Structure 1
């Protein structure tokens, strides 16, 4: 933590030359909608779920490799071109030399601000990034200041490549799915609406649109657009040295329709002459919408600097208020660090296990353990919501004491495994019991044990050793009685059923059977004879 300078009591911090540190990224997200990650070079990705990625999906190793991501360029007359995030071929080559730009990263919960100063080009850029609270779009506000002693004429160019499809298409039908892209330039930006989606769900008519919009701080529209990768980077070019920037290539106006290409949200603003110390602001919005016709109206609320600044303050307050626990250890660095630890359960609720560069397990959502472990943390920060979460979570328990393993995006939503793969982890009864016990100890709310909730139902039966061939999707995912009515049992009944089934499900040493694994998912090859000493002791 020596490189981190905390700047307040709410986890906000500062790092000098942040691009020099490997694997550094931050989360940007709303309560719903977009889930993004961002680096000091504006790398990372953005998506709503596994099948709808706005930016190309990345894992941790992509962060230092990929350059086809967010960028904002300045062409400075008689000097050359400069990237506000350091993502140019020249700036990349100057890293770790005396010519490297000075840069500072300031960040907090769900936002970052990158300041970069160039002695050579005599420019300063401050780029603030966040996602709106409702998750409809990612916002990038870039403020450019002329630090020279004389006027400078600049041409601003923004570029965000639009991936616009499922993560599955990274290597499966990558080119074919680009042929499905339908691209249109509008007054303020570029919209991409693929005609079909190709992924494991099958071939489906697509209703999702991806967009990159831009404006000046006063709400003026861009001058020209570069709506495809090919048009922006040019023949033999790259996102580190794009033709549109290198030669000030002319773009296309609003109202142009293209198809069958990799898409880019590239746009050029009108040239502007800045006096010494004069600042100009540019705004770039990027998002995903299921209603293409509403994009124009939706983005109009974020078209000026004043609107963006108001939204930014709301975002900072919203997420700071989420972490309503303070620490006084005598060390302010540790106090602030603990704030970020408290923020982690909030991030997992939003991102699940799949949607941050270091957390790329599975295809989205949380696991059974996550539901309950997050409740443990939220008992401290948001106790008022935990009671209903506990009740809803018990709806994932089956009649044989096992539980659903695919968690939906809505609270209390559990989904049948479409691949019918048997998954039974023997520790899964332990976490609901521990969480509920802590809740009871903290609140004394014994009445929660008498709340009634349904049981989950799918093909799996007899603790993963058999299938119920009478079940089908028409039956639904709630256990029914012989008469066809949905069955409800108390929370206490669910707890007893889960734990007694696990207690009596033992191996030859009278230790609870391992099944697919216990908390250590690597212990997954001893289905027949495996037993878990660790969790037998935990239950004890």
Structure 2
């Protein structure tokens, strides 16, 4: 693999040269503090919220320049050489270089001028800070007189306000060297949210355990005139003296340390950075991490914490090592990052902060088999965003509370699926009768109008059961329909970029109708769990009614259309010149059962061999997907791409063809289709489709460009004139959750159900055997699947602890033991 490789155990990705096609980053995080770090130590940090709690400077173009970051400058006072062991920002060519991204830590190691430096960056499990453990070795045969300069650049507080009003926001900065703490502290005098000005509640700090000979806090002084981080005046000795106070300017934090090293000598020190609420807490953290033995201990605790979270659960062993490494390690870690920070902090996103409603639902569903307690907590949090009328806030922030903009119309269809998955995983149907708050805020009329008299922020509007929250949520969509009886799309559904099709309140979404049908059926099942059979029948009738409407208005003979604009114009139709067929309405026709559920069983009986041969509706859908959408880098979101702006559809037609929502290979939609392939028994196509989007299965990283260890949001599609196959928007994407579900529940087929664990593999025919270790409801199932006849799906026999069971559903044992399961496909 170009630019690097996985370690033998798969727990690290080792980057072997500093310049990669894009910055290849890692997330170091606990539940409050997050540090994003590249292979050259670029990136930024934040506390609780990536918009309002920003700590380090970053700008939108930095995904290209990858500066500033967390640096240490080294100056050889005898020979005059100056370098940074992280390559950036000095950019001297190293004698050797290696970056190891691991679970909860990143190590950058290099050799310059016979001096070896190893920096281990990590965020401790329980403290709001990041720690740099530095080991420096003199490999030369002579004494070294070195000057060291640890460096960061502050961005204190609200990132969006800084982008818009930097000339004003930096006037609030106060940064100073505190002699009693031997640390640089920083804060703003005040901050504001909308029209509310409030006292800045945080104190930021930067410290080290080395004796301090000098320091700098003013960026102007540190860099010097017309200069950059590559050769700052403070280090070259050509600048003015900094007196340790920055007031109303852009600020930095820099220390100066002398280090004498005998030939062959090795020394260690520690640097730390963080944010908290008081000087007392700052002092506690400084004292704790100045003890280098304690800092090392915290690193080991952090490594053990993340390895336990990632490794002590589902484990797979198949003929495909790339597939195994993603499922066993890296997609799990990616899911945790998404669950903690949703869709805001990355090198690509705008950093709006907070956590999204629909994103959190999908993330919590994806992670439920490895961390059900986390999913349960997330369910209750998301439920509390639902109003009594069934509408909801679009998300929330730890620092700013519930979001106040109008949500996309698809928000209500996701939480029911998450709750269903949680109960299937745990058996905890009692959650349905747990109480949660209803939200009361300024939004009225099902979240479409603002009450101009409301001035109380967000409060509780009483409480109700989780089940009632789900029902109100889905009813809000079921009742909000257009002339055809399909749900209104409003300013967008799942596809954010179809943002003009319903701005006049008349456009309808076929995909949203399908997603609603699926969730109504799931909610009916949940109603039966708590003996509300009448309610279950009512919900199924609603699902049947919506299904009839979809099949009446949206089926064209070979595929389902995507929707109808405000004036009734159809899109995703054979009648269109561009945007003729959309993937989501084909995959979700199967996920929802809209495309005649009885056909699915018929196709499974044919073992996937007769897919589409009878001219069935599902067969035609699959043929259309393969003919018009499937390509060498994956399945495009739709085809052909839009080449001209269409005011009836909106932003989707503005993107360059093949990028983002304009006919890219959107990995999230690919995972929906992978589940659909599995549901109809097509193991070969399910496997081929996941292989195309696996980041560690790409053939050319100069083309793909993005990290080989984390899913991208999309690959640029074939309608782009020259970038087909390039990855983009990595890490924070719903792809992670759905890829894990597709891999474990559908391809490998260890699928949770209310009654137990269903063994229903749908694999490539060339796999002769595989294994999956699956914790489930208080026991562990070590499942070995044999496929001597080269089948794609179907189970001939299942033995549990040597005894054959009837069918392929394993009833929960709940005994804390490991149970051996032998499965024969056929």
Q: Which runs of 5+ in 2 are unaligned?
A: 518-826
Aligned to 1:46: 45
Aligned to 1:85: 86
**2:219 corresponds to which of 226, 229, 235:** 229
Alignment of 1:126-205 (within 5 A): 126-187=118-179, 188-197=182-191, 200=194, 202-205=196-199
1:111 aligns with 2:94: no
State the superposition RMSD in angstroms.
2.6
Aligned to 2:73: 73
1:459 aligns with 2:442: yes
Q: What CA deviation, in whole Å up to 9, does each residue of 1:454-499 have, x standing for no partner?
A: 322223233244445675417x5222xxxxxx3x322222222222
Alignment of 1:271-290 (within 5 A): 271-272=259-260, 274-290=261-277
Contact residue 195 and residue 206 of structure 1 kept, 8 A: yes
Contact residue 409 and residue 492 of structure 2 kept, 8 A: yes
**2:306 corresponds to which of 308, 319, 329:** 319
Contact residue 84 and residue 91 of structure 2 kept, 8 A: no
Residue 409 of structure 1: CA displacement? 2.3
Aligned to 1:384: 373
Q: Structure 1 residues 122, 437: CA separation in 2 closer, same or farther (over 3 Å shift)?
A: same
Partners of 1:66 and 1:375 lie apart in 2 by: 31
1:263 aligns with 2:251: yes
Contact residue 392 and residue 447 of structure 2 kept, 8 A: no
Partners of 1:327 and 1:212 lie apart in 2 by: 43
Aligned to 1:57: 58
**2:353 corresponds to which of 364, 373, 376:** 364
Partners of 2:475 and 2:497 lie apart in 1 by: 25
Aligned to 1:429: 412
Q: Structure 1 residues 75, 373: CA separation in 2 closer, same or farther (over 3 Å shift)?
A: same
**2:508 corresponds to which of 524, 531, 534:** 531
Q: Structure 1 residues 114, 395: CA separation in 2 closer, same or farther (over 3 Å shift)?
A: same
Contact residue 11 and residue 337 of structure 1 kept, 8 A: no
Q: What CA deviation, in whole Å up to 9, does each residue of 1:142-176 have, x standing for no partner?
A: 22111112222212222112232321343433233
Aligned to 1:394: 383
Three-state SS of the structure 1 residue aligned to 2:344 is coil
Contact residue 51 and residue 199 of structure 1 kept, 8 A: no
TM-score, structure 1 normalization: 0.86
Aligned to 1:350: 340
Residue 424 of structure 1: CA displacement? 4.4
The alignment of Structure 1 onto Structure 2 pairs a total of residues equal to 507
1:501 aligns with 2:483: no
Aligned to 1:482: none
Partners of 1:294 and 1:441 lie apart in 2 by: 43
Q: Structure 1 residues 357, 276: CA separation in 2 closer, same or farther (over 3 Å shift)?
A: same
Q: What CA deviation, in whole Å up to 9, does each residue of 1:76-132 have, x standing for no partner?
A: 1224212111124462xx5xxxxx5421111212210001112xx111111111112
Q: Which moved more, 1:454-463 or 1:136-145?
A: 454-463
Contact residue 43 and residue 67 of structure 2 kept, 8 A: no
Alignment of 1:7-22 (within 5 A): 7-9=7-9, 11-22=11-22
Residue 432 of structure 1: CA displacement? 1.4
Contact residue 408 and residue 414 of structure 1 kept, 8 A: yes
Three-state SS of the structure 1 residue aligned to 2:420 is helix
Contact residue 12 and residue 103 of structure 2 kept, 8 A: yes
Residue 72 of structure 1: CA displacement? 0.7
Aligned to 1:295: 282
Three-state SS of the structure 2 residue aligned to 1:348 is helix
Residue 266 of structure 1: CA displacement? 0.8
Residue 248 of structure 1: CA displacement? 8.5
Contact residue 224 and residue 268 of structure 1 kept, 8 A: yes
Q: Structure 1 residues 512, 165: CA separation in 2 closer, same or farther (over 3 Å shift)?
A: closer
Partners of 2:326 and 2:289 lie apart in 1 by: 32
TM-score, structure 2 normalization: 0.58
Three-state SS of the structure 2 residue aligned to 1:502 is helix
Aligned to 2:34: 35
Aligned to 1:483: none
Q: Structure 1 residues 9, 198: CA separation in 2 closer, same or farther (over 3 Å shift)?
A: same
Partners of 2:390 and 2:79 lie apart in 1 by: 73
Q: Which runs of 5+ in 1 are unaligned?
A: 95-99, 480-485
Partners of 1:523 and 1:449 lie apart in 2 by: 34
Contact residue 224 and residue 250 of structure 1 kept, 8 A: no
Partners of 1:132 and 1:308 lie apart in 2 by: 9
Partners of 1:88 and 1:470 lie apart in 2 by: 52
Residue 137 of structure 1: CA displacement? 1.2
Three-state SS of the structure 1 residue aligned to 2:188 is coil
Q: Structure 1 residues 258, 459: CA separation in 2 closer, same or farther (over 3 Å shift)?
A: closer
Q: What CA deviation, in whole Å up to 9, does each residue of 1:348-381 have, x standing for no partner?
A: 23222212212335x2111111221122122111
Contact residue 3 and residue 20 of structure 2 kept, 8 A: no
Aligned to 2:325: 336
Q: Structure 1 residues 515, 109: CA separation in 2 closer, same or farther (over 3 Å shift)?
A: same
Partners of 1:88 and 1:416 lie apart in 2 by: 38
Three-state SS of the structure 1 residue aligned to 2:46 is strand
Contact residue 35 and residue 355 of structure 1 kept, 8 A: no
Residue 257 of structure 1: CA displacement? 4.3
Higher-RCO chain (CA-CA 8 Å, sequence separation at least 6): 1
Three-state SS of the structure 2 residue aligned to 1:270 is strand
Aligned to 1:212: 206
Q: Structure 1 residues 454, 529: CA separation in 2 closer, same or farther (over 3 Å shift)?
A: same
Contact residue 221 and residue 239 of structure 2 kept, 8 A: no
Aligned to 1:375: 364
Aligned to 2:490: 515
Contact residue 9 and residue 332 of structure 1 kept, 8 A: no
Q: What CA deviation, in whole Å up to 9, does each residue of 1:163-191 have, x standing for no partner?
A: 32321343433233333332321343211
Aligned to 1:97: none
Contact residue 109 and residue 320 of structure 1 kept, 8 A: yes
Contact residue 187 and residue 204 of structure 2 kept, 8 A: yes
Aligned to 1:443: 426
Contact residue 137 and residue 288 of structure 1 kept, 8 A: yes
Q: Structure 1 residues 463, 240: CA separation in 2 closer, same or farther (over 3 Å shift)?
A: same
